[in-house]
């Protein structure tokens, strides 16, 4: 049986772009953010019949009971129609249900591999790799680029979602307790962005030593040379890279406005609107240099550099 694929990283790092470019192979079934605790796209029992109680829900052997069977069904492309109908009744919910039901059935019949695009699974990466035999792709994006994107969208982080998960706190995030509590006392969008980036990629750096098959790809490398970057990723994941797929990748990386982004979760009056737009990925990779003030970049660098040094050189900040 071909292994499932998990694409993860910090939100806004480009997991949806990477996931859709792998979906262009025609060999996978793309599943968007089953661990997103907001609906849509999360809390859809047709896709994942398990309760998601926290942002960045942490799953490990000690608390896997509600999730193991549910994710086994999801990765087996078994869609729960009645559960979805009982939970969701709006026209948008029904349209989404029809789309997923169809893709699950077609994918199962044609032997396609499930691909989870889920940044909210990042802290649970080891569980997905060891317990569900997922091939893992972690996308890293420059901390200043993440901050610029979050600033534009007005995104904030409530660190109580992390502090209130004892297993996650004890196993991974206890060194950051003081920083998280300080951010709760005095909220600061830039500090929140830097701290979340630092925690996530600190954990990813540790997992790199424990999960030898995990692939770490930089958003910037894929943006600057998409065809070569995706060719390497396709080869590592044993996905077919056809001429047509190459054209899809090229179009996704060179079309659209320089101001557009690969956007799948854009907040609109408290709701979540999803969509995908091609863009000039080369220009977009360095857009943060003009959208952030010099002092903001300096603050982000000072707050993240101890972890960012694992992935970026000094020259990547200029």
Q: What is the CATH number of the domain that holds 107?
A: 3.40.50
For 163, other C-beta atoms within 10 Å of its C-beta total: 16
Q: Are the C-beta atoms of residues 143 and 308 closer than 8 Å to each other?
A: yes
Number of domains in the chain: 1
pLDDT one-digit tens code per residue, 284-317: 778 899 999 999 999 999 999 999 999 999 999 9
The reported pTM is 0.91
Of the CA atoms within 13 Å of residue 111, those in its CB half-sphere come to: 3
Q: What is the pLDDT of residue 283?
A: 66
Cα gap 273→292, rounded to integer Å: 25
What is the SS3 assignment for 137? strand
DSSP state of 123: G
Nearest to 147 by CA among 198, 203, 204, 216: 198
Q: Which residue has the higher pLDDT, 39 or 71?
A: 71
pLDDT score of 263 more than 50? no
Q: What is the Cα 312 distance to its own chain's centre? A: 20
Please state, in angstroms and rounded to a whole number, the distance separating the CA atoms of residues 145 and 292. 9
What range defines the domain where residue 274 resides? 5-317
Better pLDDT: 75 or 87: 75
> Which region among 45-54, 143-152, 234-243, 273-282 has the lowest average model confidence (pLDDT)?
273-282
DSSP calls for 285-317 = HTTHHHHS-HHHHHHHHHHHHHHHTTT--GGGG
Q: Is 60 exceeded by the pLDDT of residue 258?
A: no
H or E element, residue 132: none
DSSP-derived pairing of the beta strands 271-273 and 266-268: antiparallel
């Amino acid at each position: 049986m071909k292994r499932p694929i998990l694409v993860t990283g910090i939100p806004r790092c480009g997991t949806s772009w990477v996931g859709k470019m792998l979906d262009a192979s025609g060999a996978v079934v793309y599943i968007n953010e089953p661990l997103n605790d907001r609906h849509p796209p999360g809390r859809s029992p047709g896709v994942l019949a398990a309760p998601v109680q926290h942002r960045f829900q942490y799953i490990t052997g000690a608390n896997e009971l509600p999730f193991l069977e549910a994710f086994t069904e999801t990765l087996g492309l078994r869609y729960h129609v009645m559960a979805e109908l009982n939970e969701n009744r709006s026209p948008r919910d029904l349209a989404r249900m029809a789309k997923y039901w169809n893709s699950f059935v077609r994918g199962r019949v044609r032997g396609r591999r499930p691909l989870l695009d889920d940044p909210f699974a990042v802290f649970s990466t080891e569980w997905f790799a060891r317990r569900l035999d997922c091939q893992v792709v972690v996308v890293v994006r420059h901390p200043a680029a993440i901050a610029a994107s979050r600033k534009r969208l007005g995104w904030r982080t409530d660190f109580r979602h992390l502090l209130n998960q004892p297993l996650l706190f004890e196993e991974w995030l206890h060194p950051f307790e003081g920083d998280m509590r300080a951010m709760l006392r005095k909220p600061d969008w830039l500090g929140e962005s830097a701290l979340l980036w630092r925690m996530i990629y600190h954990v990813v750096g540790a997992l790199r030593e424990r999960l030898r098959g995990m692939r770490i790809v930089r958003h910037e490398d894929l943006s600057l040379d998409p065809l070569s970057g995706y060719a390497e990723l396709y080869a590592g994941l044993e996905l077919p890279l056809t001429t047509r797929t190459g054209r899809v990748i090229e179009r996704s990386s060179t079309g659209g406005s320089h101001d557009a982004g690969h956007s799948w979760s854009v907040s609109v009056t408290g709701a979540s609107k999803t969509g995908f737009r091609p863009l000039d990925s080369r220009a977009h990779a360095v857009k943060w240099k003009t959208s952030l003030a010099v002092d903001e970049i300096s603050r982000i660098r000072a707050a993240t550099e101890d972890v960012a040094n694992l992935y970026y050189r000094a020259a990547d900040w200029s």
